[in-house]
Amino acid sequence: MKWWNRLDQRITELGWSKAELSRRSGITYDSINKYLRGDIDNPRGNILEKLAHTIDRPILWLRDGIELELPVDAVVQTAITTVRVVGTVEAGTFREVDELDQSEPVEIAVPRDDKFPYARQMAFNVSGDSMNDLRPRPILSGDRAVCVAYSDVAHEVPLRDGMVVVVERTRDGGHTREWSIKQIELYEDRTVFAPRSTNSNYKPIVIERDHDTDSGMSVEVIAIVRRVVNDIEF
């Protein structure tokens, strides 16, 4: 199922017309028509994020069909929750997006996030050494990063200096993507997503303010890293 099919399915559930979606999202009716027809595979800018926010669904669901376990309005009842491992974060590695992936999802049990109890949680397998020099605790290959979906907390948690996040870069019209963990550096004229590595081959992602983003590659924060776990084999 493509993202526009999920969008159409969701507005049907909500009982909205295309005109209502346009009114609520602030996106023109003509553009909404094109999206729902599937004319535009990878909208520019933050259109998908805006649509996901409007229909009250996470961006990972709208774009990739990834279902997360905890709805935003769920009642928190237990201290432990099950979190899905949604993929691998590895700096410098672009992977083809597989919309037909039928593999059995991996789930892990972790404490529920006390600070953001109503936010969706997700986990990523860490590969590579791009964050092996993060202080005070490095993030190593083989770790799992437990995160909260940024779209669920963005309204109350602005990006700030020193925050550790999962960043998604897409290219080739959205058909390939890189998920990587970076630490934010904020400056007046730019935002830097920096690796923290002993390996100098890793380079930061620099987003200039007022920069024309129509470069064929998009950059988006999809999660805030809240916990790092690793099982010890025996």
Per-residue pLDDT, 214:
54
Prediction pTM value: 0.69
Distance between CA 163 and CA 147 in Å, rounded?
Answer: 12
Per-residue pLDDT, 65:
85
pLDDT grade for 41, boundaries at 50, 70 and 90: confident
* Segment (H or E) for 221: strand 218-229
pLDDT grade for 69, boundaries at 50, 70 and 90: low
Q: Which residue has the tokens 């999206």?
A: 35
What mean pLDDT, rounded, does the chain reach? 86
- Beta-strand ranges (E) seen in 73-143 are 80-89, 95-96, 106-111, 121-126
Between the CA of residue 221 and those of 134, 144, 147, 172, 224, what are the distances in Å?
18, 18, 12, 19, 8
What domains, with CATH codes, occur in the chain?
3-57 (1.10.260.40), 80-229 (2.10.109.10)
Which residues, 6 or more positions from 85, have their beta carbon under 8 angstroms from its beta carbon? 105, 106, 107, 108, 122, 123, 124, 125, 144
